[in-house]
Amino acid sequence: MSLIHLMQNKCPKCHQGQVFSTTNLFSFRPAKMQEECSHCRQNFSKEPGFYWGAMYVSYGLATLEMALAYVLLISIGIDAFDFLNLAVCIALVLVLFPFNFRMARLIWLYLFTNLIES
Encode pLDDT of 59-103 as tens digits: 999 999 999 998 998 898 777 677 888 888 899 999 999 889 989
For position 1, what pLDDT does the model report? 54
CB proximity list for 35: less than 8 A, separation 6 or greater: 43, 44, 45
pTM (2 d.p.): 0.82
For position 114, what pLDDT does the model report? 61
Rounded distance between C-alpha atoms, residue 65 and residue 114, angstroms: 26
For position 22, what pLDDT does the model report? 77
C-beta atoms surrounding 96 within 10 Å = 17
For position 39, what pLDDT does the model report? 86
